[in-house]
Structures are given as structure tokens and as C-alpha cells.
Amino acid sequence: MQGSLDYLLWLIGVDQSFGQLSVMQIAARTIVVYLTALVLIRLGKRRFMGDYSAIDILLGFVLGSVLARGLTGAIPILEMLVVVVMLLGLHWVFAAVSFYWPGFEKALESSPRKLVEDGHVIKDAVRESKITDDELSQALREEANVQDVADVKAAYLERDGSITVIPKE
């Protein structure tokens, strides 16, 4: 067991500076950082993510950081390209696996949350979503031109952070 841990620590170059890492160690480190950041973003709230998925936001953040380091010379261009290719590859793999395996997609993305049912606000769901009464009222007006929650059949906080409102007939 200790041998496996030692290999893992060597593989991600724990005791080495970036200039001492091999291409394989850079690739392994990229995967570890990507997965760690994905978990952190996934633990974040929907409203932070807006219309983007967790993996899209992660790619934007990490790519921006890596490219900036390459521009300033903090890392050599070849090593920057390895990281960029690895990140794009991971993004593609995660997107493809999500498409073909719904269980994996659910682990990466949240499910819609019902906020209103048959004219009644589901207080626990609204509280868990950190949505104020004013924000919910605004969504009812903007999405369904409804002034009173009693006129709403259902309202959902969608995966992308938007609120969908279904008015009563």
C-alpha cells in the first residue's frame, strides 16, 4: 500500500517544482487538478454557474489560468500546450461520458428543483436554493407574466440556475 502511495506522489510530482516535472507528471497533475476543481465547482450553487455546466466553467477557469501562465513565461510553452491538450481532452471525455451515461451526468450536474407546486411555495426548496421571495416573484413576473403565486401550477429552479414557471390554465 505504501508503495502505491509513493508512486502516486511521484506521479504528480509532489516534491518537485514545475520545471522538474516530466510530461507524464504534468499530464497526471493536470488530471488531479481538473478533478479537484470539478468537485469544488460541483459543490457550488447553481446560481453561480448560470447557463453553463460545471465542466464548462471549470474549463474556462483553468484554461484561462494556464494560458496566462504561458503568456507570462511562468511555464514553458511546450508544458503549457501539454496541459491545454489534457484539459481539452478531459473536457471532451467528461462530456461524452455524460452523454452516454446519465448517472455520470447526474453526478456532474444538478437536477431541476421544484419551487412552487399548485400555487404554493415549497419553502424548504426555496431556502435550500438561496432564492429570496423577491427573486421568486421577479421570475414569476418575467417568465409567466404572473403577479400572484396562486396562479402558478409549478415553478422549477433549472440546472442552469434559471427559473421556469408554468402558469395555471
The listed range with the strongest mean pLDDT (19-28, 48-57, 67-76) is: 19-28
| The pLDDT of residue 44 is above 70 | no
Could you list the beta-strand ranges (E) of the chain.
113-117, 120-121, 152-157, 163-167
- Alpha-carbon span 99 to 140, nearest angstrom: 32
Please state whether the predicted TM-score (pTM) of the whole model is above 0.95.
no
The confidence band for 71, taking pLDDT boundaries of 50, 70 and 90, is low
Q: Which three cell numbers stand for residue 19?
A: 520545471
Least confident of 63-77, 106-120, 131-145: 63-77
Q: What is the pLDDT of residue 156?
A: 93
In terms of CATH, what superfamily is 113-167?
A: bsu07140 like domains (3.30.240.20)
Q: Kindly report, residue by residue over 73-111, the tens digit of the pLDDT.
A: 577 777 878 888 888 888 888 888 988 988 887 777 777
pLDDT, averaged across the chain = 81
**pLDDT on residue 31:** 81
For the chain, what are the domain ranges? 2-108, 113-167
Which residues 6+ apart lie within 8 Å of 60 measured at CB? Answer: 52
| Averaged pLDDT for residues 125-153 | 88
When pLDDT is averaged across residues 122-136 and rounded to a whole number, the result is 89
